[in-house]
Amino acid sequence: MALLANLIEILPAGDVKKVLIGLHWTAVIAEIDGIRRCGLASTLWNDHKHHQEPDIPNAGQLETYPGLSLAAFAKSDNPSERSVGVAAINALLPPPTVPLSDLNAEAMIASQGTSKKVVLVGSFPFVHRLRTKVGELIVLEQNPDPGERSEIEAKDVIPSADIVAITGMTLSNHTLENLLDLCSPQAMVILLGPSTPLSQVLFNYGADILCGSLVTAIEPVMRAIGQGANFRQVHRAGVRLVSMTRSDLDS
């Protein structure tokens, strides 16, 4: 939890204006110094049974929470609350002060991965294209499809990888720190996906490149999420994909 604690301790206080837990994506709108920002996170769920306790105990009241209290949900044992917490972190984070690139994660991995061993934690739509552009591609998933491997094999394949690309969802499911610890000091480590916080704190834990997102059109994005949109639809509604690189990467 040290990484999460460090992320939360640098956040400014903010007022929560809207919390939306969609089918695929969770969004939080926060206002800081009169400016509204929207943060995203993948929606995580428990298997639901009608007689069990609610996924969100205070559903309907989340907008009454201070921003920092909502961000602390990221440390919860409850998957749905963790999604809200990570979205709140992304809403409260100050805008990056370093240059951002529009180079997407697929292009970045392809350009760096020629003749190299790449481990991708999380299955992405570009996997089939990436296989033809890198030396070796291993995809780790919680529920692997044919051609993918189980996440329990992480300790066997990540330490020898030249490039490790990790989905930002691992921050929500509390596996990110362990995965970063497995990476070789010589490996290029990329965190990718809309859940990824654009914060230099992650560089202190071994990440080299952050491929995340900025919501540029809040209302259209909220409408899409509220109607069950997948990320391709959310992206079109008003999200910019950006990359942020550790300043000493080439030094």
pLDDT of residue 251: 45
The model's confidence at residue 137, banded by pLDDT at 50, 70 and 90, is very high
The answer to whether the beta carbons of residues 123 and 145 sit under 8 Å apart is yes
How does the average pLDDT of the chain come out, rounded?
Answer: 93
**Gap between the terminal Cα atoms of the chain:** 30
- What is the structure's pLDDT at 50? 59
Say whether pLDDT at 161 is over 50. yes
pLDDT at position 48 is: 60
How large a percentage of the chain has pLDDT more than 70?
A: 97
**Cross-strand partners of 121:** 140, 166
- Determine the pLDDT at residue 61: 93
Measure the CA angle with vertex 44, ends 43 and 47; round to 5°.
130
Size of the chain in residues: 251
Prediction pTM value: 0.93
Q: Is the pLDDT higher at 70 or at 123?
A: 70
Mean pLDDT of 76-100: 94
Domains and CATH numbers, the chain: 2-92 (3.30.390.100), 105-214+238-245 (3.40.50.11590)
pLDDT band at 1 (very low <50, low <70, confident <90, very high): confident
The pLDDT tens digits for 92-116 are 999 888 889 998 899 989 988 999 9
Write down the pLDDT at residue 163.
96
Region of poorest pLDDT, from 36-50, 163-177, 196-210: 36-50
Q: Which residue has the higher pLDDT, 146 or 163?
A: 163
| DSSP, residue by residue, the chain | -HHHHHHHHTPPP-EEEEEEE-SSEEEEEEEETTEEEEEEEE---PPP-TTSPPSSTTTT-GGGSBHHHHHGGGG-SSHHHHHHHHHHHHHHSPPPSS--B---HHHHHHHH-TTSEEEEES--TTHHHHTTTSSEEEEEESSPPTT-EEGGGHHHHSTT-SEEEEETHHHHTT-HHHHHHHS-TTSEEEEESTT----GGGGGGT--EEEEEEES-HHHHHHHHHTT--HHHHHHHHEEEEEEE-TTTT-
Specify the range with the lowest mean pLDDT, choosing from 19-33, 64-78, 96-110, 217-231: 96-110
Is residue 191 predicted with pLDDT exceeding 60? yes
Q: Is 49 left (phi over 0), alpha (psi -120 to 50) or beta?
A: beta
- pLDDT score recorded for residue 123: 86
